[in-house]
Structure 1
């Protein structure tokens, strides 16, 4: 009977199922070595009899747990079936996953993929690249890629970073599909929501800028744009009023719109393809389009140059703001008196040297008195370095004051105002 099909089949019976499962776990845990013991808790009568048959030792019917040396199971299987315990288990299936072997294979795969990343010229040239690789290795990202058999994604990410790093200074921005095609052969490989590759690349770009990778489509578009990669040049836009500029096409349109005091939406596509220069000493910035709408309706051409963040500044907003500041212009910003509005004020002050305007503790308290909505102040408290008392007063009051509630005061500051148009002194 040794080695016969009948002998093998007996181990597929229900009374051996839990026993062999425990034996499998032991072998996988110990790298295939037959050592230690396995046990059964609350064995059935059939399981108890099977163990008695294996060990030759009687076990009473009221026993709660049976412990068996794994070597006894191995010996019994060899005597009955002419096979090793491992042979029986793998014939029943699936193959054993020996943890020691898996760890070795995983370590080897990790070393290989990291060596490929370290072979890039970026590794010797840029500390941020080395930090990016180290972060991927330490937080389990590389292990995840190996387990999902997606290791090629790291080499693709490296190619994208090398491409961006090799572009000459002053090169025209590259569209995201063109970048993906040039580095992966797939125009959609870097699209949002297209798996791990875009996230791998964006993590590297965020590390290069010394900042965490933020969530949200606009934050990611802005990060791509910081490296002259355009995700969607039509969806990103910025609303302006009375912002004359020089330059073919867009510059002429903006100047004409300012002559009539009419609002104008600028797309990122226009800013890229129709370069402009904005030479104005001061440009006001508001957060809420309702404020710009009132300025257009009530002041018209008397309104100062105004751009609107429309909540969260877009990539187009940032590109326009940089144009203004690089030409010597000052941005004066007003936003909501809530913690996100304060955070945006801080961000614009840091990034562009913007000047908070009508954002003092006195302005806030006046707004609290005039505001009838009594909206509770929620979110993470932000510092107000331009007026250190403001954050404390806002916390004590516990109320938000939205920009549209104080629009009368803003418009009063702006009137009268007349911007000189191009060609005028």
Structure 2
């Protein structure tokens, strides 16, 4: 039978450090009475309390006074009618079972990671394994399994990534809400700031070697690479002199071409209106500065020209597919940097585009012109390094249409941006 007065005795200050040490030991070893606990540099009251428990004398100034857990348990039981564990729980609440908690945590982690480790991507894609490694190191897996509402989110992220990787080039675009519904039955599951969206975008950023997106534009760009439409009004393409057949958009394009004025086409318009394009050749550039010059210098006489304004969007791919179906041949030009030639190769593969002035000779000529322009600026007193060069950064990619191009870029180590070679592009458009 428990003696409440005897229990009160253990609330005295001389027992507190010893009982805290006992609680830690029992919580860490699953309640086993093996081993001992002690107090470092005990004061007089603590020393006498431990002597009373063990019956063994400790001299003044002892560095540590210890007692076995079995001794402490026996004395507590004899005095209070409670086991040591029972006393500790009476005084300060239930004891934790750290080994059992660790085992449950390990089992939960294994359960959470199993869909990822059993995914075909785990064996085939280094970026996927890197992503999982990041989630393990930054504590994300632990945070996911700590809350019932997020336990299954990692498995959902794996299914989203598998779905995106399975999407072949040329497949019809899907809305972000449609993709979310397909995988989770919740159209809002991939909205910005959801846990699922954060996981997937981190994986896609690793997949493409870019920083985790921090702006709406960067997020749209990552989704656009898989033709996942976040906003069909934000996905757009800039065109010049691209007359088209069809009501609505076709009429607007034809009218803009008559005046030689640039026109923005959105993915929403392309999905709303049916158009047909009959141009034999459509030139494509990456930088709007090129299209702006073409509009200013050539006006309505410029042949059909479209500008991706950076990485080709879903709207560009939709328009390019319409042009190719109408019999057009695409001629693509972009920046001579690693992202630029990567995009050029992707457009060539997807739409059968011809690479326009994107050979090693074109790159070296553009580099020479850029160096000459930089030297001229330096002579005029403009700030600069005197050579007009900046470093070529990013991950090198092959240029199968002209392998010498990648070799020359690696050797020279400098990019050539499209606006620097606009004169030669405008000459072609005039011709």
Superposed, 1:165-204 pairs within 5 Å as 175-177=175-177, 188-194=188-194, 196-199=195-198
Kept in 2: contact 1:43–1:66 (CA 8 A): yes
Kept in 2: contact 1:156–1:183 (CA 8 A): no
Q: Which residue of 1 aligns with 2:394?
A: 380
Q: 1:382 to 1:57 in 2, by over 3 A?
A: same
The answer to whether 1:86 aligns with 2:102 is: no
Secondary structure class of the residue paired with 1:376: coil
Q: 1:137 to 1:288 in 2, by over 3 A?
A: closer
Q: 1:104 to 1:289 in 2, by over 3 A?
A: same
Kept in 2: contact 1:202–1:213 (CA 8 A): no
Q: Give the deviation of 1:295 after TM superposition.
A: 0.9
Distance 2:34 2:290 in 1: 77
Kept in 1: contact 2:221–2:311 (CA 8 A): no
Q: Which residue of 2 aligns with 1:367?
A: 366
Q: Give the deviation of 1:296 after TM superposition.
A: 0.9
Which of 388, 402, 405 in structure 1 is aligned with 2:417? 402
Q: 1:412 to 1:179 in 2, by over 3 A?
A: closer
Distance 1:278 1:8 in 2: 91
Superposed, 1:53-202 pairs within 5 Å as 53-93=52-92, 95-103=94-102, 105-106=104-105, 144-151=143-150, 153-154=152-153, 157=156, 175-177=175-177, 188-194=188-194, 196-199=195-198
Q: Structure 1, residues 72-102: CA drift from partner, whole Å, max 9, x if none?
A: 3323332333322323333444533324433
Distance 1:77 1:328 in 2: 93
Kept in 2: contact 1:31–1:98 (CA 8 A): yes
Q: Give the deviation of 1:268 after TM superposition.
A: 1.6
Q: 1:78 to 1:384 in 2, by over 3 A?
A: same
Q: Structure 1, residues 290-346: CA drift from partner, whole Å, max 9, x if none?
A: 111111111112223222221233332233334334555443222222233233233
Q: Structure 1, residues 268-293: CA drift from partner, whole Å, max 9, x if none?
A: 21122223333434322222111111
Q: 1:342 to 1:11 in 2, by over 3 A?
A: farther
Q: Structure 1, residues 207-238: CA drift from partner, whole Å, max 9, x if none?
A: xxxx6797435575467668875321112222
Distance 2:2 2:271 in 1: 77
Decide which moves more: 137-146 or 61-70. 137-146
Distance 1:320 1:12 in 2: 80
Q: Give the deviation of 1:256 after TM superposition.
A: 1.9
Q: 1:75 to 1:402 in 2, by over 3 A?
A: same
Distance 2:311 2:13 in 1: 63
Q: Structure 1, residues 86-126: CA drift from partner, whole Å, max 9, x if none?
A: 233334445333244335545666788799x89xxxx9xx9
Kept in 2: contact 1:244–1:258 (CA 8 A): yes
Distance 2:173 2:427 in 1: 41
Question: Normalising by the residue count of structure 1, what TM-score does the alignment of the two structures yield?
Answer: 0.74
Superposed, 1:275-294 pairs within 5 Å as 275-294=274-293
Q: Which residue of 1 aligns with 2:299?
A: 300
Distance 1:351 1:57 in 2: 86
Distance 1:339 1:327 in 2: 31
Decide which moves more: 358-367 or 99-108. 99-108
Q: Which residue of 2 aligns with 1:37?
A: 36
* Unpaired stretches in structure 1, ≥5 consecutive residues: 166-170, 417-425
Aligned residues: CA RMSD: 4.4
Distance 2:282 2:355 in 1: 12
Distance 1:128 1:105 in 2: 27
Secondary structure class of the residue paired with 1:150: helix
Distance 1:364 1:286 in 2: 15
Secondary structure class of the residue paired with 1:101: helix
Question: Normalising by the residue count of structure 2, what TM-score does the alignment of the two structures yield?
Answer: 0.73
* Unpaired stretches in structure 2, ≥5 consecutive residues: 165-170, 375-383
Which of 384, 390, 395 in structure 1 is aligned with 2:405? 390
Q: Which residue of 2 aligns with 1:246?
A: 245
Q: 1:366 to 1:180 in 2, by over 3 A?
A: closer
Q: 1:376 to 1:7 in 2, by over 3 A?
A: farther
- Corresponding pairs, count: 396
Decide which moves more: 232-241 or 212-221. 212-221
Q: 1:75 to 1:179 in 2, by over 3 A?
A: same
Q: 1:60 to 1:295 in 2, by over 3 A?
A: farther
